[in-house]
Amino acid sequence: MSDTYRFAISIAFLLVILPIKSSAQALELKNASTTATFDRQGLTAVKDAESKTSVDLARDAWSLTIDDTILRSNGSQPVSVNAHAGEVSYEYEISGYRIQVTYSLATNWKFVGKQIKVLRAPGSKVTIHKIVPWDLTLRNAVSSDYVPSAYVPQLGRTIEQSRNSLPAKDFGEFLRFSDGTGAMATVQNPF
């Protein structure tokens, strides 16, 4: 598949986080400020070294609607899990597609990046109709959340016009946990 048909979307979890139970994890990414732990399905926790607080995930899933096919990590087992220098990657074979999900933690980052790529497709051309880059279930008690609406002032639109013309085009969420800490998840599309 040529690079023009490759698809990637990144997610950065920028975190101000809360306490978690200690548990042994098979995979870990760590720098001076942040530790991310993983199991066979994906991200399980992100911990801040300075505050000793974390966000604990019960589920980290994704889905893509490509052409007429819905691809989901939930219920699928990765065919490979690889860890190397600042990255953990999962590869899935689903309905003739090969999907790679890579988590990154750079030396000076205080967040974990998640990138989803379509490495192979059954046809030479694909159309991606819907992306759910994260479908998370947190173990942390969430007391409130806020999803800021998309706003495109560069197109000369007001906030209201942006909301009307870009429904369901929100690319982040702020979470407030019951202990007063919180987390922010945001999507960055490199294209």
Q: How is residue 45 written in tokens?
A: 């926790």
3-state secondary structure of 41: coil
pLDDT the model gives residue 3: 38
Residue 150: is it exposed, middle or buried by C-beta count within 10 angstroms (0-12/13-18/19+)? middle
Separation CA 162–CA 140 (nearest Å): 32
Among residues 137, 133, 176, 143, which one has the least CA distance to residue 57? 137
pLDDT the model gives residue 79: 96
Chain-centre distance for alpha carbon 40: 16
3-state secondary structure of 189: coil
pLDDT the model gives residue 57: 94
pLDDT the model gives residue 152: 62
pLDDT the model gives residue 119: 95
3-state secondary structure 125-142: CCCEEEEEEEEEEECCCE
Among residues 95, 171, 133, which one has the least CA distance to residue 8? 133
Asked if residues 144 and 176 have their Cβ atoms less than 8 Å apart, the reply is yes
Separation CA 12–CA 177 (nearest Å): 19
- In tens digits, the chain (191 residues) has pLDDT values of 433 333 333 333 443 332 223 333 369 999 999 999 999 889 999 999 988 888 999 999 999 999 989 999 998 999 999 998 899 999 999 999 999 999 999 999 999 999 999 999 999 899 998 888 888 899 999 999 988 766 666 666 676 776 666 655 667 888 899 888 888 888 776 55
DSSP state of 149: P
Separation CA 56–CA 53 (nearest Å): 10
pLDDT the model gives residue 137: 92
pLDDT the model gives residue 86: 92
SS3 content of the chain, % helix, strand, coil (to 5): 5, 55, 40
pTM: 0.76
Separation CA 42–CA 48 (nearest Å): 18
Separation CA 90–CA 26 (nearest Å): 14
